[in-house]
A = this chain, B = another copy of it.
């Protein structure tokens, strides 16, 4: 599945509700899913982890839809030509650095 295809799938599925909630209301749901992901990373099965990652991605896509951001374009622009820090495809930034 392409990232653009996934964002479009989520747009078709939820855009009407997303627009009604707006960015703030939608962000709260993302935070709830982030919390569930954290718990599952500690205690969950492989299946539960996969489901929580999917939910976080879905809420992120839904916020991007409301905010008018194209996720595929965004990641290509920032990471498609190498690490934003060092420009390499295998990062050579100092280990103490952010990436």
Contact = CB atoms under 8 A, between A and B. Distances in A.
Given A13-B89, A20-B95, A57-B60, A51 B38 contact: no
B60 A56 contact: yes
A6 B6 CA distance: 13
Interface-centre pick from A13, A64, A89 (highest chain B CB count, 10 A):
A13
Number of copies: 2
A44 to B, nearest CB: 9
A83 to B, nearest CB: 5
A55 B78 contact: yes
A98 B26 CA distance: 10
Given A34-B34, A57-B75, A50 B69 contact: yes
